[in-house]
Every structure is written in C-alpha cells, then in structure tokens.
Amino acid sequence: MYTAEWLRKKRNELKLTREQLANLSDVSHFTIEGIEQKKYLGSNKTWEMLVLALGEDFNSEKVPQKPTSDIVKNADWLKSKRLEYNITQQELADSLAIHLRTITNIEQGKRVGSLNTWKKINAFFEKNSNKY
C-alpha cells in the first residue's frame, strides 16, 4: 500500500525535496506535504502521478482508501451537532479560527479533518454545551 511513510522513504532515497517531486509529478508540494503529514490520503490520480514520477509502476490497488463508514459517521455527527446548536458552517469556522471550506468538506465527507481540527471542534461543543 502507498502510505505517507512509503512516499517519504522513496523521496528520500532519491534525494528529492518536496518541491523537486512536485515539479516532476505535477502534484503541488502542498499536497505532497499533506500526504506525508497524514492530513489527507490523496486521490488515485495524485498517487499515480507521484508513483510514476518516483520511477515505480503504478498499481491502483495500492492506493489508500478512506474508511467510508467513519467519514460518513463524522460528517453526520458534525452536521447534526452544528444544527442542534443552530449555527452556520461559517459561524463554526469563525469560532474555531479555521476555513469554512474545512467544515464544508468534513460535512460533505470529502475530508476527514486533521486531529487538530477535531480537537477544536470537540472543545467548541464541550465549552458551549450549556449555552445552546
């Protein structure tokens, strides 16, 4: 399976910086950094471009898959909690000092959300539980 560790190891073996790999693969160095820091998994196309740029044969079966049930569960929980508190996505994002897009992507199941984001979300709802 292609993993953050695999990517980092292959990149280091070839003595490539993220920027160099980005130029070789046409994948943003921010995307490469996000994958290596386990902020997101990367799409099939992203992995294909990275693997080929690293001189390996691409195998789509090795692309990490999102644990769909957990994503759906988290998306549903966040949306229902936010609606229970009668706040908009923008109000929640502003309260957490994160981008609106982050909340939207989590609620739509497009992103899992980082550990730091979930800490902020949980702290917000715990702190405000008696206000709503």
pLDDT of the chain, 132 residues: tens digit per residue = 888 899 999 999 999 999 999 999 999 999 999 899 887 788 889 999 999 999 999 998 888 776 666 667 888 899 999 999 999 999 999 999 999 999 999 998 878 888 889 999 999 998 887 765
pLDDT at 110: 79
Distance CA 120, CA 129 (A): 14
Residue entry with tokens 């980005």: 22
Burial (0-12, 13-18, 19+ Cβ within 10 Å), 90: exposed
Model pTM score:
0.54
Q: Give the E-state strand segments of the chain in sequence order.
A: none
Give dist(CA 46, CA 22) in Å, integer.
Answer: 11
Task: Say how many Å lie between the first and final Cα of the chain, rounded.
Answer: 45
Predicted confidence at residue 87, as pLDDT, reads 95
Report the alpha-carbon angle 93-99-105, nearest 5.
Answer: 90
- Amino acid type, 61: E
